[in-house]
Structure 1
């Protein structure tokens, strides 16, 4: 997906550079008229406006230091919607770790604990995030983690007309047409946990995750993998994986096909991680 040249301005905001791209929008680093650095998400077209309005509605109800706050929303002269949020001095998780090797469990635990805090705030506002891919996790130099991009988010326990999110991280119930609950995001966090601990995908054990192209896997195959195939045991990838013990069991519980068999909420997942890794 190619990006057009960055505009010089978006409404009253001066564009400094491109931060990222998505299916429905570009995200730019900008300066306000008062000189404040912000992130501005600009719809790719007029037709993508409702997606950004929905995201702005969700952000306005979320109160968490781990989710950048909404500043304002608006419309450009050509009718494209934009939303402005606070800018954090952080990089995508993929810029910090290439997912080609395992990370120490204590580091993984500290990252995912912060993710659980962000998810807890999003769920408290009544929404599921549904897109926990690494580019949506931003890591600051001091180790603080932030969760961005609610473009795929949806109200908890309400049916969706079609699955949302990145296929590699989508829970089985989304493919089955069931409404998302807190455990839906626990599944996505479980995929991330697995990748951080092993450097591999739960379903492609012979390929290093950093060299794996999930886009090349078709939707029907992802559906089959998430709904029917058991993840590869962590012991296949991690030296001394037996020492992980209960942690390995917890990761596989997060990846259970049935939501009721996972930790019920991110708070419960975080509590168990804290006991296992940080006590």
Structure 2
């Protein structure tokens, strides 16, 4: 469907130039566009389908969270927000549409690029946690590459507040990267995001996910595979054993047996950089 045959696309075309659909990830649709004036490229995120108050509230909550942490160089930036004609909210986001898989594969030293990406994303997650939130859905499809080639964390649709008086909403998306404790209905913790980050790095390093996921299969099938399976070591001539060991440790089924925080995980990655003789990637938080 083209932007000009979608009611929302028609409305956005009245606000932006070069509007075109980017992707649909229920309950949201994303469009690429250029701002007026100036022509800056952006991504516009709007609810899909009919209006639902919980979806509207979710997008406004994301706007608030990203407004607090979006200045971090490795968190997707929110540039603006506005209200559609029917009252639904919309977010204008930083243009970051590249794939970390492609960026790592194209790098002169893919393993070094993957490790650096992990440290940068760990800094993003530490910043999220300091803002009293947990991401709960860290996976390759929620990591993007900016127009200048830097990885940024996005996809905050499943994020939850850790404030004492906050309500925890159920997990809506089940994937092969979802931490086992979430699949079992337990409360998330910082170690939950460590699992997602390790699962993401596992795919960037190994070239495939630790647990395979197939089109059309049920969430129950994914849950059984993750809870009943074991993360296999990465056996490849260009992957040091210490990298494989770290990733399998950080994907332990028991959350208490993982590195407890993204910063801890990042320090382990930094030790690998040191032993490999690579330049240190700085952990940026706050």
Shorter-chain-normalised TM-score: which range? Answer: 0.7 to 0.9
The residue aligned with 1:176 is: 184
Q: How many residues align?
A: 262
**Larger strand share, 1 or 2:** 1
CA contact (8 A) 2:232 2:248 kept: no
Unaligned runs of 5+ in 2: 278-286
Whether 1:31 aligns to 2:37 is: no
Structure 1 residue 247, shift from structure 2 partner: 1.7
Superposed counterparts of 1:59-208, under 5 Å: 59-62=66-69, 63-88=71-96, 91-96=98-103, 104-140=110-146, 142-156=148-162, 160-204=168-212
Residue of structure 2 equivalent to 1:43: 47
Shift of 1:8: 3.5
Q: How far does residue 116 in structure 1 lie from its aligned partner after superposition?
A: 1.0
Q: Are residues 1:231 and 2:231 paired?
A: yes
How far the C-alpha of 1:19 sits from its partner, in A, is 2.8
Q: Which residue of 1 aligns with 2:245?
A: 249
Cα displacement (A) at 1:3 = 7.5
- What SS is found at the alignment partner of 1:26? strand
1:21 aligned residue (21, 24, 28): 24
- Relative distance call for 1:43 and 1:95 in structure 2 (3 A) is farther
Taking the aligned partners of 1:42 and 1:256, their CA distance within structure 2 comes to: 36
Residues 255, 261 of structure 1: alpha-carbon distance in 2 compared, 3 angstrom cutoff: same
Structure 1 pair 80–11 and aligned structure 2 pair: CA distance change class (3 A): farther
TM-score, normalization by structure 1: 0.82
Cα distance in structure 1, aligned partners of 2:110 and 2:102: 18
CA distance, structure 1, for counterparts of residue 112 and residue 201 of structure 2: 12
* Structure 1 residues 201-233: Cα deviation after superposition (integer angstroms, max 9, x where no partner): 2234xxxxxxxx534332122222322321122
Unaligned runs of 5+ in 1: 205-212
Q: What is the TM-score when the length of structure 2 is the normalising length? A: 0.80
Query: In the superposition, relative to structure 1, how do residues 122 and 36 fare at CA in structure 2: closer, same or farther (>3 Å)?
Result: farther
Contact between 1:108 and 1:193, CA under 8 Å: does it hold in 2? yes
> 1:272 is matched with which residue?
268
Q: Contact 2:158–2:171 (CA<8 Å) still a contact in 1?
A: no
Report the secondary structure of 2:224's partner residue.
helix
- Aligned CA RMSD, in angstroms, stands at 2.7
Q: Does the residue aligned with 1:221 lie in a helix, a strand or coil?
A: helix
1:218 aligns with 2:214: no
